[in-house]
Amino acid sequence: MSYQHKDLAAGRWKELTLCAQMANIGSEVERALNWQVKQNPAYSRRAVERALELLDLTLDSVSGLPRLKEVARVREAVVDFFMGSNEFGSTDASWRKYFLPFTYAARRLR
């Protein structure tokens, strides 16, 4: 598989806390949302692909069934929102509200 985040895929991602991982994923989701607003679907799709890549790296590094289920459900919802029919009824605001606490926690834990 060809990774956009080569250094993270090489093992550095597993060194980050779950909060830091989710904050980074949230940054990519935020970029995708911003590119949608700017009506640039190509850039939005690239940001979504990077977010999915980070979610996959997180799924590989997370331990414990509750965390695994949470990350897997987030991945499913991201795909549904950006590439599917939005069956979950997600909104731009709901994504921002979900990821913002991870960003605060990651900054606080530095």
- For residue 110, the model assigns a pLDDT of 75
CA-wise closest residue to 30 among 43, 18, 14, 19? 43
Task: Return the half-sphere exposure (C-beta side, CA atoms, 13 A cut-off) of residue 107.
Answer: 6
- For residue 13, the model assigns a pLDDT of 86
11: left (phi over 0), alpha (psi -120 to 50) or beta: left
Global pTM value: 0.91
Write the pLDDT tens digit of every residue in 42-88.
999 999 999 999 999 999 998 899 999 999 999 999 999 999 999 99
User: So where are the chain's domains?
Assistant: 16-109
Distance CA 51, CA 64 (A): 21
Write the pLDDT tens digit of every residue in 6-21.
666 667 888 999 999 9
Find out whether 103 and 26 touch, Cβ atoms under 8 Å. Answer: yes
